[in-house]
Chains A and B, each alone.
Chain A
Amino acid sequence: GQSLEQPSEVTAVEGAIVQINCTYQTSGFYGLSWYQQHDGGAPTFLSYNALDGLEETGRFSSFLSRSDSYGYLLLQELQMKDSASYFCAVRARGAAGNKLTFGGGTRVLVKP
């Protein structure tokens, strides 16, 4: 099966930088995704890494090291609206094609 570990909570101030680490154990690994979820809402896609290295999308960047089974999401220039839960998710082979397995989520609280 798959398992993912990420910190449960992070608090930072506006304008700061936050890094959310994610380590995983899986078989049939294809890639690592990151999703954002605000309270009461559905997850929204942020990024996907299939290859080693850094992917940058605006204020958010995601990194993957396949050899270390490790990735991180970097949130820069934090804004109040970034307060949300962030989930890493492994895309891996399942019984019916590839599927996502989510980590426990990291709750990010941005303070003024």
Chain B
Amino acid sequence: GAVVSQHPSWVICKSGTSVKIECRSLDFQATTMFWYRQFPKQSLMLMATSNEGSKATYEQGVEKDKFLINHASLTLSTLTVTSAHPEDSSFYICSIGTAQDHSNQPQHFGDGTRLSIL
């Protein structure tokens, strides 16, 4: 069964709208969640690491004020794309994985959210 639930799966909205994407861990308590972005025919690019109860760690080049991450509980992380513009249109995917060193546990991915900004 699914380990990660991501919602919504598809969003179409006008430029300037803020969009919230939810990522839920279904089977275990996730202290760490990851947010990726994938443009068509490209690879997954890590945007940020979401840590329960503390601030997210953003990758270089990702605007933290543009992509707000909240990880208030061990089962839920949210990504809010603020004032979205057409260039933010992409496939956003969350994943859950352990942050433990040398862990061989795979990351489990949500089904992704396809965001289209008009």
Contact = CB atoms under 8 A, between A and B. Distances in A.
Given A43-B109, A94-B57, A100 B46 contact: yes
B42 A104 contact: yes
Interface residues of B, number: 27
Contacts of A102: 43-45
A74 interface: no
Contact of A95 (B44, B57, B110, B112): B57
- Chain A interface size range: 20 to 34
A40 to B, nearest CB: 8
A87 B106 contact: no
Interface in A26-60: 30-31, 33, 41-45, 48, 50
Taking chain A's interface residues, is the majority helix, strand, or loop, or is none over half, making it mixed? strand
A10 B51 CA distance: 38
A41 to B, nearest CB: 7
- The 4 closest A-B CB pairs, nearest first, are A97-B99, A45-B106, A96-B57, A96-B49
Interface of B: 32, 34, 42-46, 49, 51, 57, 93, 95, 97-104, 106-112
Interface of A: 30-31, 33, 41-45, 48, 50, 87, 93-105
8 contacts: A30-B101, A31-B104, A43-B93, A43-B109, A48-B104, A50-B102, A97-B100, A98-B101
